[in-house]
Structure 1
Amino acid sequence: MTNLYEIKLVTTRETLPLRKKVLKPFLSEEECVNPGDDLPTTYHLGLFSNGELVSISTFIQEAHPDFPAQFPYRLRGMATDETFRGKGVGSILLKHGEDFLRGKGCDFLWFNARIKAFSFYEKLGFSYYGPLFEMKNIGPHKVMYKVLDHK
């Protein structure tokens, strides 16, 4: 990626335009707020390219019922503006998020992935769990996860 970029913590409100545009265009921005978005243990990361917010990820402290973990987090609302897809910004942001969470003591990261994002997450070392399931108005998903080692 040749553009200059910066990753920093952002607010829930700052994530909403990209969440709506990329993930849930059938909802209003207000309806794109996730449960847990405003908890003090939730982190929203944004990747800015030349000052423009182009990729977002939200990490909410939440256990998966089938995985015993000491300090699990769930990824929600991972989105990259379509003009920046395929340029590595999503990978850069997610790797940064993993390192950030490791620094907080997180040992397990999981999420519900859309089929079209499977290969993106596979390349970053995430594994599948369980069967495909349908999310209303969005389509088929599968749980993906990664154990975060502490180097």
Structure 2
Amino acid sequence: MNYEIRQITTQELLPLRQKVLKPFLRVEECEVDGDYLHSTFHFGLYTDGKLASIATFVQEAHPNFPAKLSYRLRGMATHDAHQGQGLGGKLLTYGENFLRGRGCDFLWFNARIKAFPFYERLGFAYYGPLFDIKDIGPHKVMYKSLIPR
């Protein structure tokens, strides 16, 4: 499958974020803290000219993990028609390499239960207990060191 990954704007990714992650909200309600910061990076993976997968990386430390430069993954989503094709993994790996190249040594996020296997396959580990996010459901913190081995 041919694909292209490129940096995109918040406005470009919001419709897919809403469709996949928060269909109970209006598109404009799907912005997250940090979407418009200069240090935030949004990436989109396109197939046949259409946005298939998105990921947002916000510079944010996790209070329980010391790191030189931490980023938090927000709003990772792949369109239903493209799930299970490996596109999300390609996009997340691209984002990790991009951040590593800018000195990031730690990536973390809150993962939904249904996404646990996806993130485990990409080498992410769990931290702490299961917790609930209102209107969305149970989550766990997942993380990965980006320091080259």
Q: Which residue does 1:15 correspond to in 2?
A: 13
Counterpart Cα distance in 2 of 1:104 and 1:28: 34
CA deviation map 1:77-115 (0-9, x unaligned): 000001100000000000000000001100000000000
Counterpart Cα distance in 2 of 1:111 and 1:44: 15
Pairing partner for 1:27 from 25, 28, 38:
25
Counterpart amino acid of residue 97 in structure 1: G
Counterpart Cα distance in 1 of 2:148 and 2:123: 15
Pairing partner for 1:114 from 102, 106, 112:
112
Q: Which residue does 1:52 correspond to in 2?
A: 50
What residue ranges of structure 1 are gaps of 5+ in the alignment? none
Matched residue of 1:117: which SS? Answer: helix
Pairing partner for 2:89 from 85, 88, 91:
91
What residue ranges of structure 2 are gaps of 5+ in the alignment? none
Matched residue of 1:41: which SS? Answer: coil
Q: Structure 1 segments of 4 or more deviating over 3 A?
A: none
Matched residue of 2:32: which SS? Answer: coil
Describe how 1:101-140 pairs up with structure 2 within 5 A.
101-140=99-138
Counterpart Cα distance in 2 of 1:130 and 1:95: 24
Query: What TM-score, normalized by structure 2, do the two folds share?
Result: 0.99
Pairing partner for 1:82 from 80, 83, 103:
80
Counterpart Cα distance in 1 of 2:131 and 2:36: 27
Q: What is the aligned length?
A: 149
Counterpart Cα distance in 2 of 1:8 and 1:106: 19
Sequence identity of aligned pairs in percent?
A: 65
CA deviation map 1:37-88 (0-9, x unaligned): 0000000000000110000000000000000001000000000001100000
Counterpart Cα distance in 2 of 1:133 and 1:47: 30
